[in-house]
Structure formats: C-alpha cells, structure tokens
A and B are shown apart, each in its own frame.
Chain A
Amino acid sequence: MQVLSVIGYLILAPLAGGLLDGIDRIISARMQRRKGPPLLQPFYDIGKLFSKEVIAVNNVQMLLNLSYLVFLAIAGSMLFAGKDILMCLFILSTADMFLIMGASSDSSPYANLGAGREMIQMMAYEPLTLIVAVGFYLSSGSFQVSDIIGQQYSSVLFMPGMLLGFMFTAAIKFRKSPFDLSTSHHAHQEMVKGLTTEMSGPTLAIMNIAEYYEMILILGIFCLFFLNGNWWSWPLAIAACAVIFFLETLWDNASARLKWKTLLDSCWVITLLFGGVNLLILMLLK
C-alpha cells in the first residue's frame, strides 16, 4: 500500500500539478474576462522548454535544480508513505535551499534579488509550518502521517485556526499574488523573472516540474487536516482542497504584489494570531 501510494505520487504528481496549473490559468483568464490558454498548456510549455537549446550559465545550476526536484519528490514521498510529517517539512525546506543556491549561483542581479526574497519568504512561512506540525502532534498524539489520518475525528476540529493560517501562507508556496515576490507565473517586470531569470529551456522545465511536486505536496498537507479513519473523509478532503485551490486563485487575481516587509509582518501576525492562539488552546485541551 505504502509503496503503491509513493509510486503513484511520483508518477501522478507532475501530471496532476500540470492539470491544476492549466485549470488555474483558465479560471484566472475567465476572472479577467479572457478566454485563456488550453487546459494542457502547462504540458506544451514543458515540452517546448525541453526542446530548446541548453544555455548553461554555469556548471552547477542544473545540478542544484535537479536536487531541488529530487528533494521535493522525497519530501512528498514521505508524506504519501505515511511517514513522519516533521521530517517531511524539514526536507521541504532543504529542497528550497537548493533552489535558492541555484538562483544565487548565477551572476544576474535579478536572480540574486529573487533568491534573497525567496529566503525572506521562507522566514515568513516557516514558523507557521512548524506550528502546524506540532498541532498535528497534539491533536493525534503522533507525528506519523499514518496515525494522523487514522484518527477518529478530523484534525481540523482541533486546529481550525491553523488551517486558516496555513491557507494564508500557502499562497507563498503556490507563488501566488500578493506573495509572489521571488518569482511568479505571470509577467513579472519589476525584476524580470526573479529567481528564474537565468534559467532557460530544460533547467526551467525541471524547476517547473519540481513546483508541481510541491503543489501536490502542499495540497496533501491540506488533506491531512480533513482526513480521519472513515472513508467519507477522503472525498471531503479532496473537495476541501478544490475549494482552497479556488480561493487561492481568486486571491491571486484580486490582489497586487506586496513589499517584503508587509509580507513578513502579515505572515507573522497571522502565525501568532491563528497558529499561536490555536496552539495554546490545543495545549490546554489535550
């Protein structure tokens, strides 16, 4: 079962991620009264990127991007294998470090600025991510994903505040406005393409595939909030993920990019208010 779900994740996550990205682009277009690209556009993009000439700006960028991909895949596999959630989140942060190193390995000032901003973004979402992991531990008595989804009640009953907080910070992970400081899927003229400025062709394609793995991983964590021992919690979790994803798209289209200071302040206030208070109540209850 475990092996199956890991293999399923490794194969299906990029496909599902690409499809979600396609849906996201169409919904965004409709919100702006445009027709939007075809549903399979992300796959066309990746296919094209692989067929382009390789312009290597240095020897390590490709390697670092590959590490980003591999580490994300490992982090996701841990979640889908039902292993330790804390470990999974740590590997997720490690993966991000590879991306930052990859971006700062080249000489473009835009990429370096993007890498700096990515670091700030990590500082913004990391505290809440840890609080969420502790929240899972307090509500289920274990860090193991398999125990968390085997509980009698969904974790969200104990940690609604953390869910709201996690929805807030997930916009950073999804690279959605207003938090798309380091790079974004849309035209990003103020510092060209940020983090990915010097990535071209296959290097960018690999980064995109890694992002799809990450997207599914984050949605998987959202699922954890809703899953419990009963079968009906699965459709419920998937429906909740769909709603959350739609809300992120809506928010993306309704807001403009923030400055990094506002990002940091707002994320930490949300972390304290929703995550911290929720954690305190949980500690008193349990």
Chain B
Amino acid sequence: MAKVSKSPWLLHYDASSCNGCDIEVLDCLTPKYDIERFGIINTGDPFQADILLITGGVNSQTEPVVKQLYSQIPEPKVVVAVGICACTGGVFKECYNIKGGIDTVIPVDVYVPGCAARPEAIIDGVVQAVAILDKKREEYRRQKNAK
C-alpha cells in the first residue's frame, strides 16, 4: 500500500525568494532535522521527484520554469509553497515584476506560512503533502485502471 508516502522525493525550486526560505529548506537536511529519516531525498531532478517545493513568489522570468518543472514531474505529484512569498507574494506582492503566489501559475496543495518558514513548519508541510500524495496516488491508480 502506501508506497509513495514512504519514499517522497523532493525537488526544490527558488522562484524569486530572498534566499531566507531556501536556507531553511536546506536546514531540513542537516543532522538536527534530518528529513531523510522519513525516506525523503532532496533530488535535483524533476523526473524523479514526487513533491515540488517552491520558495518565493513567481515573476515573469520564473513563470515558464515553474510550469516546465511541474509538467516534468511524473504523476502523482504535489506542490508545496514554502514561505509567505510563495503563498501570496508576501512583501513583494505589489512589485511590478511579481505575479503573486505560486498558485497563480500551478495548483498548490500545501501552503507553509512564515517569513522565513521555520524548518519545523516545512517538515510539517511536507508530511501533510505526503498524505495528499497518497490520496492522489489512489486516484491515479483508479484512473489508470479505468482506462
């Protein structure tokens, strides 16, 4: 059963973050937080990822990249927006180049608030994403069987 939830692989992308949230994402890999104990691997490769972790709001330059990364991840997949910028645009919301949160370009499943999002919050968000991933996997299997 719950196969994906036991080995969710992450892909992290920085859409336009100030780097604060990125450091916190990297923090999750350190011995103190050690997300590998959940079987999570931080891959750099969309082809092998299950969870897309995005920090920072989307601007006109990163929009096509976000869309492409999303399309390259095989089903089932979930998107986690990390940090207030990724959720809504945050302090940069009114900037002329910012489109807003990640959900203005691709569907987002989990929002992790905070500026910068704390590692605990990020891990919590990822764990919630894993639950959603399981549901999506069931759906995906049903669709495949129906075909």
Contacts and interface: CB of A to CB of B under 8 A. Distances in A.
A244 to B, nearest CB: 25
B74 A54 contact: yes
Given A41-B7, A44-B39, A48-B6, A201 B45 contact: no
Contacts of B139: none
A155 to B, nearest CB: 39
Interface string B2-36: 01101100000000000000000000000100101
Interface hub of B37, B38, B140 (most chain A Cβ within 10 A): B37
Interface residues on A, range: 20 to 34
A193 B45 contact: yes
A52 interface: yes
B44 A193 contact: yes
B43 to A, nearest CB: 7
A39 to B, nearest CB: 11
B44 to A, nearest CB: 5
- Determine the main DSSP class of B at the interface with A: mixed
A124 to B, nearest CB: 25
Contacts of B72: 55
B74 A51 contact: no
Interface stretch (A27-35, A67-75, A77-85, A216-224): A27-35
B44 A187 contact: yes
B47 A199 contact: yes
Interface hub of B7, B41, B43, B137 (most chain A Cβ within 10 A): B7
Contacts of B6: 41, 44, 47-48
Contacts of A55: 47, 72, 74
A29 B48 CA distance: 22
A211 interface: no
Given A29-B36, A34-B34, A44-B39, A51 B4 contact: yes
B55 interface: no
B7 A44 contact: yes
Given A37-B37, A44-B39, A47-B3, A200 B44 contact: no
Contacts of B120: none
Interface in A173-218: 187-189, 192-193, 196-201, 204
Interface residues on B, range: 20 to 34
Contacts of A25: 36
Contacts of A32: 31
B130 to A, nearest CB: 11
B78 to A, nearest CB: 13
A35 B4 contact: no
Contacts of A116: none
A193 B34 contact: no
Contacts of B124: none
A37 B36 contact: yes
B42 interface: yes
Interface string A43-59: 01101100111110000
Nearest to B42: A187
A198 B34 CA distance: 27
B31 A38 contact: no
Interface of A: 25, 29, 32-38, 41, 44-45, 47-48, 51-55, 187-189, 192-193, 196-201, 204
Given A36-B34, A37-B38, A204-B47, 15 more contacts: A33-B31, A34-B34, A35-B34, A36-B36, A44-B7, A51-B4, A51-B141, A52-B75, A53-B76, A187-B41, A187-B44, A188-B44, A193-B47, A200-B47, A204-B48
* Chain A to chain B: the 9 pairs with minimum beta-carbon distance, closest first: A200-B47, A53-B74, A44-B6, A53-B75, A34-B34, A193-B45, A47-B3, A45-B7, A44-B7
